[in-house]
Amino acid sequence: MNTIFEFVDFVFDLSETIDRTRQLSKPDIVEVPPDPKPLPPAARRALAEADDRERKREQAAQAASGTDHVS
């Protein structure tokens, strides 16, 4: 009985080894996202305005703290 269990265990181990070997032999497939769509002009303007507001806020914070970084 013990011999039968050892044989079955050996068969499972062999099957697992074969499966791992098959997985290693497969080439790696890398999914590449599609190219981003260009932003419409209104969205580009909104981003530019947000960047300007952020830049002005940072300059105001620097002026208030007394540190001025030259850009």
pLDDT per residue, tens digit, the chain (71 aa), is 889 999 999 999 999 999 888 877 777 778 888 888 899 999 999 999 999 999 999 999 998 887 655 55
Radius of gyration of the chain (CA): 31
Q: CA-to-CA distance for 60 and 64, rounded, in angstroms?
A: 6
Q: Which residue has the tokens 């030259």?
A: 70
Tally the residues of the chain. Answer: 71
Q: Which residue has the tokens 């909104």?
A: 46
